[in-house]
């Protein structure tokens, strides 16, 4: 079974949205004080939820087009790379050589899973 390129693209977009959702959750949580109403009414947390809904829609669309789980889910693993980049951009969290090595292993694993 070959995986259509559009399915891979959908999963790649989903990985970026997943990382954005994580960023929005973190930034929203740092703003919130008080009870549950403050959490569910925080615009950043709501934005994170919207990102994750979009991720699920893209998953369904990608699977509808066809493709292998062993190809598509490793593509979604790039979420960790995007999250590290967002952390560096918005929080100044450095990306160390060991982090880059881990990212390279992720990409290498994605390549091998697709074989």
Token pair, residue 63, equals: 């699977």
- pLDDT tens track for 95-105: 999 999 988 99
- pLDDT tens track for 45-57: 999 999 999 999 9
d(CA 100, CA 21): 22
Whether 114 has a pLDDT exceeding 90, the answer reads no
């Amino acid at each position: 079974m070959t995986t259509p390129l559009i399915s891979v693209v959908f999963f790649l977009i989903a990985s970026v949205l997943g990382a954005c959702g994580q960023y929005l959750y973190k930034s929203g949580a740092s703003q919130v004080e008080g009870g549950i109403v403050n959490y569910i009414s925080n615009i950043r947390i709501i934005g994170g939820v919207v990102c994750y809904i979009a991720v699920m829609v893209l998953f369904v669309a990608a699977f509808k087009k066809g493709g292998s789980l062993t190809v598509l889910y490793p593509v979604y693993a790039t979420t960790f790379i995007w999250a590290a980049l967002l952390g560096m951009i918005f929080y100044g969290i450095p990306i160390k050589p060991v982090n880059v090595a881990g990212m390279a292993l992720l990409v290498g694993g994605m390549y091998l899973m697709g074989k």
